[in-house]
Amino acid sequence: MRKKKTPGKSKAVPIAIGIGITIVVLVIAINYYLDQTSISGQRFGDQLSQIQTDLKNETLNFDAYLTQYKSGQISKDQMLKVTDEHISAMKNILPRYDQLKAPESFGPALQLFKLSTETQIDSDNALREWITTGDNATRVKSDQLLQQSFQYEMNALQSYENAKSKGSQ
């Protein structure tokens, strides 16, 4: 006796194969997306780190000159020239923040890093005025702005670490 074919079975196999292929494609696509997001995040972190390193190096270099100026090793005119070059270098670093493609969760940290740099430039401008005039009030203003810049940077680092830990969960 011959077995009758069940009408649904012949269509069920191709449908099951199609569903299986779809699931595999979706898993591959999701993994690819997650890898690309991870790579993008890593690239952002590396670029931000480079900006911060450049800022640190510029600031350390400037601070060395400032120490020499305070100890009388370089003249007021030399220090004003160094200060102008420093402020120019800082202003050239600032637009690099806008060129970063930050993952959304890192946006607040990026804005705080930029604000820190802007405030540091304001501090440097006040310091330049102090060098020019000798007015201690501008020196105090410069110190206050520098402290504010430092606080923005600490907040930026905290925000960055928070975003990073949320992204790895």
First to last CA, the chain: 61
CATH number of 39-167: 1.20.120
Higher-scoring residue by pLDDT: 1, 144: 144
Quote the percentage of the chain above a pLDDT of 90.
64
Instruction: Give the model's pLDDT for residue 167.
Output: 63
Neighbours of 17 (CB within 10 A): 10
Greatest C-alpha distance within the chain: 112
- Per-residue pLDDT band at 44 (split at 50, 70, 90): confident
- Alpha carbons 156 and 112: distance in angstroms, whole number: 5
Higher-scoring residue by pLDDT: 155, 44: 155
Give me the chain's average pLDDT, please.
88
Instruction: Give the model's pLDDT for residue 53.
Output: 95
* Across 76-97, average pLDDT: 97
- Per-residue pLDDT band at 127 (split at 50, 70, 90): very high
- Alpha carbons 8 and 73: distance in angstroms, whole number: 94
Q: Please state whether 101 falls in left (phi above 0), alpha (psi between -120 and 50) or beta.
A: beta
Is the pLDDT at 13 greater than 90? The verdict is no
Helices (H), the chain: 9-70, 76-93, 95-99, 107-133, 136-167
Angle at 108 between CA 98 and CA 89, to 5 degrees: 40
- Alpha carbons 81 and 89: distance in angstroms, whole number: 12
Nearest to 83 by CA among 130, 136, 152: 130
Structure tokens at 136: 């201690």
Burial bucket for residue 163 (CB in 10 Å: 0-12, 13-18, 19+): buried
Is the pLDDT at 96 greater than 80? The verdict is yes
